[in-house]
Amino acid sequence: MTTRANTAQFDMLPFAPPRVMQNVYSEAQHDALMDMIRTYGPWPMVTKGRFQNVEQIAASTSGRIDRNISMDKFIVAQFRGWVASHGTTYFTELDDIFYDPKLRALARDYWGAQYARPTFMYFSLSGPFEATDPGHIDGVTFRGVRKENAPLWILSLMGKSRLFDRWMVKMAQVVTWWCKCPTGGFTYWPDGVDGEPQRVTAPMWNKSLVVQNERMYHRPESNGPLERRRYEGLTFDTELGVDPSDRDRWLMTTGDTVNAELHTGDLRLMLHWNAEVYNDMDDLKLHSDHRDDLTHDMVAEIFMADLRRRGVGFTPPSDPYNDMDFIGVLNDTYNPGVPRRYPPGTEPVWHRNRKPEAA
């Protein structure tokens, strides 16, 4: 029999308290980002291609999802574009942002470390939407096993299990929002899923959070007028981009069908800048020399050894990354569940509608 995770053991706490900041970026940097988004869109849905089944979604969020639910239930009108990876910008006009010395200084200061290396950056863009995410951690990066060679769900479970902390890469994020809407902030749980939630409150114009998101549950809140949060006919192939004839008119489209028209003033833009952080030169060389890296086989072996130690029954998988039953066992064993408390009025729909005795 599998057992639920011991919340205290697997709780996620960031290295240091998150830091809310204002006006990290200049107006010129914001304008450059928006110009790039207009020029190179349309942009795909955040969830497109990220998960192949409900078990993988559960592993990346709460682990408490009805296994019989349709994947279509996870279609949300949020869109994403990658700006940089592997320490390199895709768009040279954004070099001023990605390599900004101020951002690297924030990352070093958060950890009290000597070195910080920008690694990747992406944005998300949306109009009004209903946030269904109950709270999640970002995929953790490990020496040898990282987002470039492993799916998000396994990285999330590796982080939650605490079995791989020895190989964890220290990360710092500067997450920034531009949104004029008076509703729709950002909730985070710096004291774990049982702790009191904190918020970056709306309106969020050039507001930032310096944080370690791989060790802290967080979620976007629902945004915009309630009557405008739902859209008809969306699929995982729906895209969002600017109308070439009007730089302030945005079209949400599925193939040739226009699902919605938005104005620039309706948009919520989030920019996620990420850096790897190294305490000192020895720490930097440990990463760059690859002398103590994880392998995918090691990940499966460490998980299975720990399951046996716990007395958790499972069938050894021939393909651990695609075995639905094995993924389910990992979910049930290592996922601490969703946060217990939400700021009033920001709860996910399922949380607002559940029976009081289940709280």
Share of the chain above pLDDT 90, in %: 69
Classify residue 355: in a domain, yes or no. no
- Structural domain of 146: 7-349
H or E element: which one contains 159? helix 152-161
More confident residue, 8 or 42: 42
The pLDDT value given to residue 357: 38
Classify residue 1: in a domain, yes or no. no
pLDDT tens readout for residues 61-111:
554 555 556 555 667 899 999 999 999 999 999 999 999 999 999 999 999
CATH number at residue 241: 2.60.120.620
| Cα 357 to the center of its chain, rounded Å | 30
> Contact at 8 Å (CB) between 135 and 189?
yes
pLDDT at 59 > cutoff 70: no
Most confident of 133-137, 220-224, 355-359: 220-224
Share of the chain above pLDDT 70, in %: 86
Q: How many domains in the chain?
A: 1
Classify residue 122: in a domain, yes or no. yes
The pLDDT value given to residue 5: 42
Classify residue 98: in a domain, yes or no. yes
pTM of the model: 0.87
Classify residue 357: in a domain, yes or no. no
Handedness of CA 324, 330, 331, 333 (dihedral sign): positive
pLDDT tens readout for residues 284-328:
999 999 999 999 999 999 999 999 999 999 999 999 988 889 988
CA triple 221-227-229, angle to 5 deg: 40
Handedness of CA 101, 106, 109, 111 (dihedral sign): negative
